[in-house]
Amino acid sequence: MTETLHSEFVAQAVKNPDATAVHSDTGVLSYGELNQRSLELAERLVADGAGPGVPVGICVERTPDLLVAILAVLRSGSCYLPLDPNYPAERLAFMVRDSGTRLLLTTPASRAGCPAGPTVVVLGESVTTEPGEAPSAVVPGDTAYIIYTSGSTGTPKGVAVRHAGCVAMLAEMDRVLEGCDLSGIAAASSVCFDMSVMEIFNALCRGGSLVLVESAVHLAESRHADRITHLNMVPSVMNGLLDAGALPPNVRSVVFGGEALRRKLVDRTYRETGVQRVFNAYGPTEGTVFCSFGPVPAEGTDEPTIGPPTGTARVYVLDQDLRRLPAGEAGELFLGGVGLAHGYVNRPRTTAERFLPDPFLPGERMYRTGDLVRFTEDGELRFLGRTDHQVKLRGYRIELEEVEARLTGCPEVREAAVVVRGNRLVGYVVPTGNVPEQDTATPAGPRLDAALQSAVTARLAAGLPDYMVPATVVVLPALPLGPGGKLDRGALPEPPAPAAGADGPRTAPSTPTETALAEIWGELLDLDPAGIDVQAAFYDLGGDSLLLVRLARLMTRRFDRRVRVPDLFSFRDIASLGRWLDDDSGATPEIVQSARQRADARRAALRGRGNTGR
């Protein structure tokens, strides 16, 4: 077993330098090229102060440069801090400041959005310092990366993960995935989530090719989609891909994780695709990607378990007094073993609260997950729920308390609660006196307020990733409370349906193309086409990234003109889409924007909610 996350990649590069390491729509790199470029950059980083214990930020769009940057940081002896260019500037600045990052890698396309403070190294710019020697003193206990997760106190917290845990995880993947075709692994997860670690290094440390795509919804748009043989996938995203007929044709194995996997989706995957093997996996960032992992057979009627514990994890199911529970009894899941993270960066108190002394193995620690599980009689784990208000939404880990803290920080809001409805976040607020009072002619109860939603959403979008911004904000006269005076989330009402034209004059379809588009949008969004404003953005009407895939496919069939998901980032409403479709020249504008440009457009749309003229 190798000692560091990157050392097996180096061995593969030496053995097969001409093999293709990375396919992407913006370029292809061989193992030899990736090896040489990452080594040269590592030497430069060392000259600039990189080394063991030094976090290096990586703010790079999803091109082969991203892989060069990650490998270079690891080879320099430092740990990498992924900084998604899609994230709001406020959140990126917090992560850099909180982690103590003083060195940051970026590209000319993303440099303008990088936080101030660290020394910036721009890939592709001429080197002004003498190259140094990449250190070889990286040991298994050193930190490989820091990933920030949502925090229950209102601020995110960084998890410091060790090389040893990553190496053990890769060895376990070799065992469980034996016999799978891993020659083409899709890299579709954000590097800010630890699923990306398995995607990247399961390919590069095993001699396979990595197919780099913008996100899972862009899989079918990749020029290299037919090279993909293996996917790591969130169940809700897979459902969306199957609905749109957008799963790459040569995928033969899928690892599900991040959400509860249902038997219905397993059956559908085997039935409707060429997938031959399905796996289900579970694990928090604090346990290094996965701590349980197992195959899900095609035959079966029971809901899938989250698999048996991996060979590298110590798994306990304990009661409130930290006593072991027998199979069949529900308790909280605690984790130990080589995959256990160091803890939370610069948060000794929080680390001590979650990483406890292991009562069964003196001198060791165990992590309190907050997940409720039970062992089955055959030694597998069945997930039952949470002990707190952490949720998983489309694979993203969200502490509802963080979103609620942001909401109550808005001057327009006195109290707030957030829940998941379907696959969307819904915020419930009791407004302060800083917003207009409800019309006395309107009955008291849940209502929508476009002006309040617009103001609140703009404030949240400035500091939270898009997936943490509630899609709908419901105004209540008071939050429902239980007998003990605590918030009763179960009593929060369903959001009222928006009334077409209630917030102002509506712009109706004026051309046959707009009318046809309104019919398609109505079908996807379960709305009356006659009530859709052609100037309203797809996201504002309830759309999401998964529905964009289906929208692109439906439009392609309806108008006999290829429509791609990226087109829908440029033309966000029916009016602009209609003008583009009616353009006799068929010219497609420049739609290949940087990740930051797309993020800015998305946040602008969020800020504009409630002001679309509906």
Q: What confidence score (pLDDT) does residue 132 get?
A: 56
Verify that 336 and 412 share a domain, yes or no: no
Q: What pLDDT does 75 receive?
A: 94
Across residues 426-444, what is the average pLDDT? 64
Q: Based on the fold, state whether residues 485 and 554 are members of the same structural domain.
A: no
Cβ within 8 Å of residue 582, ≥6 positions away: 511, 513
The predicted pLDDT at position 434 comes to: 52
Burial of 566 (0-12, 13-18, 19+ CB in 10 A): middle
Considering the domain architecture, whether residues 209 and 256 belong to the same structural domain is answered as: yes
- Give the domain-ending residue among 456, 491, 526: 491
pLDDT at 596: 40
pLDDT of residue 277: 97
Which tokens hold the place of 379?
Answer: 């030694």
Summary mean pLDDT of the chain: 86
Q: Does residue 1 belong to any structural domain of this protein?
A: no
> Which residue has 């193309």 as its token pair?
513
Q: Are 120 and 172 in contact (CB under 8 A)?
A: no
- Domain assignment present for 475: yes
The two tokens of residue 443 are: 């009955």
Domain residue limits at 550 = 512-607
In a domain, 392, yes or no: no
pLDDT > 80? residue 612? no
Question: Among candidates 328, 474, 360, which has minimal Cα distance to 413?
Answer: 474
- CATH code for position 443: 3.30.300.30
pLDDT of residue 609: 42
Of 9-13, 25-29, 470-474, 484-488, the least confident: 484-488
Helix H or strand E encompassing 431? strand 424-431
Select the more confidently predicted residue: 471 or 313: 313
Task: Give the pairing type, strands 381-386 and 390-393.
Answer: unpaired
132-170 pLDDT, tens digit each = 555 557 889 999 999 999 876 678 999 999 999 999 999
Q: Are residues 253 and 358 in the same domain?
A: yes
More confident residue, 457 or 323: 323
Give the number of domains in the chain.
3
- Does residue 412 share a domain with residue 362? no
Q: Count CA atoms closer than 13 A to 207's CA, side-chain side.
A: 9
Mean of the pLDDT values across residues 403-413?
Answer: 89
Residue 472 sits in the same domain as residue 520: no
* pLDDT per position as a tens digit, 275-298: 999 999 999 999 999 999 999 999
pLDDT at 164 (0 to 100):
95
Q: Looking at the domain assignment, is residue 502 inside a domain?
A: no
- Choice between 154 and 510, residue whose per-residue pLDDT is larger: 510
CA of residue 459 relative to chain centroid, distance: 21
Residue at a domain's end among 324, 349, 382: 382
The answer, yes or no, to whether residue 552 has pLDDT greater than 60, is yes
Report d(CA 474, CA 381) in Å as an integer: 37
99 shares a domain with 44: yes
Pair (326, 407) in one structural domain? no
Look at residues 495, 524, 162 and name the one whose alpha carbon lies nearest to residue 355.
162
Residue 2 lies in a domain: no
Give per-residue pLDDT as tens, 32-88. Answer: 999 999 999 999 999 999 999 899 999 999 999 999 999 999 999 999 999 999 899
Residue 438 has pLDDT above 60, yes or no: no
Last residue of a domain, one of 351, 382, 413: 382
Contact 227/208 with Cβ under 8 angstroms? no
Instruction: Flag whether 498 is in a domain.
Output: no
318 in the same domain as 198:
yes
**Same domain, yes or no, for 327 and 454?**
no
243 shares a domain with 201:
yes
pLDDT, average across residues 493-514: 73
Helices 195-204 and 64-75: crossing angle in degrees, nearest 10, is 90
Read off the pTM.
0.81
Order of strands, edge to edge, in the sheet holding 27-30?
Answer: 27-30, 20-24, 209-212, 184-187, 230-233, 253-256, 277-282, 292-296
> Where does the pLDDT of residue 441 fall: very low under 50, low under 70, confident under 90, or very high at 90 and above?
very low
Kindly tell me if the per-residue pLDDT of 474 is higher than 50: yes
The percentage of the chain sitting over the pLDDT mark of 70, rounded to a whole number, equals 89
- Per-residue confidence band for 562, with pLDDT thresholds at 50, 70 and 90: confident
pLDDT per residue as tens digits for the range 96-145: 999 999 999 999 999 988 999 999 999 987 655 565 555 557 889 999 99
Mean pLDDT over 574-586 rounds to: 78
CA–CA dist 242, 494 (Å, integer): 28
Q: What Cα–Cα distance (Å) separates residue 334 from each residue in 218, 314, 337, 379, 490? A: 36, 8, 11, 16, 27
How big is the CA angle at 149 (ends 148 and 151), to the nearest 5 degrees?
120
Does 349 lie in the same domain as 421? no
Strand pairing category for 365-375 and 381-386: antiparallel
Band (396; pLDDT cuts 50, 70, 90): confident
64 vs 502, which has greater pLDDT? 64
